[in-house]
Amino acid sequence: MSVPQTPGPTLCAIALAVLAFGCGEWLGSDGGTEPTDHQEPRNLNQIDGDGTGPTEARPEDLQIVDVAVPTPNWALAIHGGAGSANRATTDAEDYYEALREALSLGAEQLAGGEASLRVVENVVAALEDDPRFNAGRGSVFTTIGTHEMDAAIMDGRSLACGAVAAVKNVRNPIRLARRVMEDTRHVLMAGAGADNFGVVAGVRREPQAYFSTERQLERFRELRARRGASQDESGDSAATTAGDYTGNAGAPAALGGASHLATVGTVAMDRYGNLAAATSTGGTMLKRIGRVGDVPVIGAGTYANNSTAAVSCTGRGEEFIRHAVAHDVSARIEYGGLTLQEAVRQVIQEKLRPGDGGLIAVGPDGAIAMEFNTNAMFRGAADSLGRFDVGIWDEVRRGQPPSEQPEAEAPP
Q: What is the pLDDT of residues 183-207, one digit of tens each?
A: 999 999 999 999 999 999 999 999 9
Point out the least confidently predicted range of 201-205, 246-250, 289-293, 344-348: 246-250
pLDDT at 340 over 50: yes
d(CA 124, CA 174): 7
CATH 3.60.20.30: which residues of the chain?
A: 75-404
3-state secondary structure of 170: strand
Give the chain's radius of gyration (CA, Å).
27
Give the residue among 267, 268, 266, 322 at the shortest CA–CA distance from 294.
Answer: 322
pLDDT confidence of residue 260: 52
C-alpha 330/C-alpha 299 separation (Å) is 9
CB neighbour class for 371 (10 Å; exposed up to 12, middle 13-18, buried from 19):
buried
Q: Is 62 helix (H, G, I), strand (E, B) or coil?
A: coil
Q: Are strands 188-190 and 161-167 parallel, antiparallel or unpaired?
A: parallel
In one-letter notation, the amino acid at residue 60 is E
In percent, the amount of the chain with pLDDT more than 90 equals 68
Identify the CATH assignment for 75-404 out of 3.30.465.10, 3.30.1330.60, 3.40.190.10, 3.60.20.30: 3.60.20.30
What's the whole-number mean pLDDT along residues 343-368? 98
pLDDT digits 0-9 by tens, 201-251: 999 999 999 999 999 999 999 999 988 744 443 333 333 333 333 444 333
Phi, psi (rounded to 5 degrees) for 141: -105, 150
Q: Which helix (H) or strand (E) holds 166?
A: strand 161-167
DSSP state of 408: P
Identify whether the C-beta of residue 124 lies closer than 8 Å to the C-beta of residue 266: yes
Quick: pLDDT tens for 370-387.
999 999 999 999 999 999
- Active-site residue set: 263
pLDDT above 70: residue 1 = no
Task: Please tell me the distance from the alpha carbon of residue 262 to that of residue 403, in angstroms, as a whole number.
Answer: 30
Which comes out higher in pLDDT, residue 100 or 27? 100
Report the C-alpha gap between 348 and 371 in whole angstroms: 7
Where do runs of H (alpha helix) occur along 140-190?
Answer: 173-183
Question: What does pLDDT average to over the chain?
Answer: 82
DSSP for 8-48 reads -HHHHHHHHHHHHHHHHHHHTTTT-SS--TT-PPP-TTEE-
Higher pLDDT: 326 or 54? It is 326
116-129 and 173-183 are packed helices; what angle lies between their axes, rounded to 10 degrees?
150
Stated as kind and residue range, the H or E segment containing 191 is helix 191-201
d(CA 154, CA 311): 10
Three-class SS of residue 376? Answer: strand
29, amino acid identity: S
Q: Indicate the pLDDT class of residue 141, thresholds 50, 70 and 90.
A: very high
Q: Which residues pair with 264 in a beta bridge?
A: 280
At residue 14 the predicted structure's pLDDT band, cuts being 50, 70 and 90, is: very low
**Burial of 141 per CB tally in 10 Å (0-12, 13-18, 19+):** buried
Cα separation, 172 vs 210, whole angstroms: 12
- 249-253-257 Cα angle (round to 5): 25
Strand ranges (E), 272-356: 275-281, 302-305, 309-315
| H or E element in which residue 125 lies | helix 116-129
Burial of residue 85, with CB atoms counted within 10 A of its CB: 0-12 exposed, 13-18 middle, 19 or more buried: buried
Rounded to whole angstroms, how far apart are CA atoms 25 and 216?
72
**For the whole model, what pTM was predicted?**
0.79
